[in-house]
Amino acid sequence: MDRPRISVMFDLDGTLVDSDQDLADAANMARKAFGLPLLERAEVIRHVGYGLGYLIKNTVPEAYQDRLDEARAHFMAYYGEHLLDNTRPLPLADAILHKLQGRAALVTNKPGAFVQKILSGLGWTDLFGAVIAGDTMKNGARKPSGLPLLEALNRLGTPNSGIMVGDTEADLNAARDAKLPFWCVPWGRAAKDADVILRDLLEVEERLRG
């Protein structure tokens, strides 16, 4: 009997690409527009995973919370031009995507326009059977909701048969909400609660094959 087909959903930032510096630079450009001191990269990156709104809200002081739209505009203007300055594939990301071509989806909270620009720049545009960005769902759902994951599986033709591979609590909680396994990259912040902590990204294909 043939084994059931299992699809794999990948997060983007921190899972497939190291985008830390470009995200930190964009957040700091928003702060700079308000005359605020720059944040250390680690302080910015700990807020990555729940979407751009969350990132902006948590990197702008309380006194500027009524200017979040302005901060977001500064972020987007800078990031849109500089999102590939330092962003590079993480180890073995390119290899696993080519191995899983056609059975992999991208599920990220990053705005779709940025996602497409990154995928194009890295030569990954044709490697995903489905791409669900932070503004894809008509109902506004994004991780940690499981709905984007279920939508990705439907688009891949494998409803309720998939694995989420990510690095943050948003990825973990989305998988739990969708009642799907969560496999964490070894450097991920959500590793301690994962169903599987991967040795590296190629282990995804090895486990599916085994």
The question of whether 66 is a catalytic residue gets the answer no
Task: State pLDDT tens for residues 139-164.
Answer: 999 999 999 999 999 999 999 799 99
Task: State pLDDT tens for residues 50-96.
Answer: 999 999 999 999 999 999 999 999 999 999 999 999 999 999 999 99
In angstroms, rounded to a whole number, what is the distance separating the alpha carbons of residues 42 and 178?
30
Q: Is the pLDDT of residue 2 over 80?
A: no
Q: Is the pLDDT of residue 16 over 90?
A: yes
Mean pLDDT of 111-128: 97
What's residue 64's pLDDT?
A: 93
User: Considering 2, 11, 66, 135, which one is annotated as catalytic?
Assistant: 11
In angstroms, rounded to a whole number, what is the distance separating the alpha carbons of residues 198 and 196?
6
Q: What is the mean pLDDT of the chain?
A: 95
3 pLDDT tier (thresholds 50, 70, 90): low
What's residue 4's pLDDT?
A: 67
In angstroms, rounded to a whole number, what is the distance separating the alpha carbons of residues 148 and 141?
7
Mean pLDDT of 35-63: 95
Mean pLDDT of 165-193: 97
Q: Is the pLDDT of residue 172 over 80?
A: yes
Q: Is the pLDDT of residue 1 over 50?
A: no
Q: Is the pLDDT of residue 186 over 90?
A: yes
Q: Which residues of 171-194 are buried (b: 16+ CB within 10 A; e: fewer)?
A: bbbbbbbbebebbbbeebbbbeeb
